[in-house]
C-alpha cells in the first residue's frame, strides 16, 4: 500500500516572482517511506517570502519537497527521514523569518 500526501495549494499572490506567487516549485513528490512535517513560520506575506523559505529549507540534506503558504504561515516539508528541527529553524532564520514550531 502506498500512502499519498497532498500538499496545500498556495493562493495566487501575484508577487514580484511570478503570476502564481512562488519563485520555486516542489523538487519531488512524496515517495513511500517519506516523512511529511508541517511547520509554522511567522513573517511570510507573499510569494517571494514563500520562495525564500522554500529555497533555504530545500538546502537541508534529505529534503525532497517544500511547500510554503504565506496566507497560513504553514510550511510542508517532505524528507527522506525525520529532520532536526534546529536545522529547519536555522534555514528559516537564514531566509529572514521565524520558525515558531510544528503546526
Topology of domain 35-102, per CATH? Alpha-Beta Plaits (3.30.70)
- Cβ partners under 8 Å of residue 78, min gap 6: 5, 28, 30, 34, 35, 36, 63, 64, 65, 66
pLDDT band at 81 (very low <50, low <70, confident <90, very high): very high
Chain-wide mean pLDDT for the chain? 81
Cell 529572514 sits at which residue?
96
For range 63-80, the mean pLDDT: 98
Lowest mean pLDDT segment, chosen from 25-29, 50-54, 94-98: 25-29
Q: What is the pLDDT of residue 33?
A: 87
- Spans of all domains in the chain: 35-102
Amino acid at each position: 500500500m502506498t500512502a499519498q500526501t497532498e500538499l496545500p495549494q498556495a493562493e495566487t499572490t501575484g508577487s514580484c516572482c511570478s503570476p502564481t506567487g512562488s519563485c520555486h516549485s516542489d523538487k519531488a513528490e512524496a515517495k513511500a517511506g517519506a516523512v511529511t512535517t508541517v511547520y509554522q513560520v511567522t513573517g511570510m506575506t507573499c510569494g517571494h517570502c514563500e520562495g525564500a523559505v522554500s529555497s533555504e529549507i530545500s538546502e537541508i540534506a534529505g529534503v525532497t519537497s517544500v511547500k510554503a503558504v504565506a496566507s497560513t504561515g504553514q510550511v510542508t516539508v517532505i524528507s527522506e527521514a525525520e529532520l532536526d528541527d534546529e536545522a529547519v529553524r536555522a534555514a528559516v532564520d537564514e531566509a529572514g523569518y521565524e520558525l515558531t514550531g510544528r503546526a
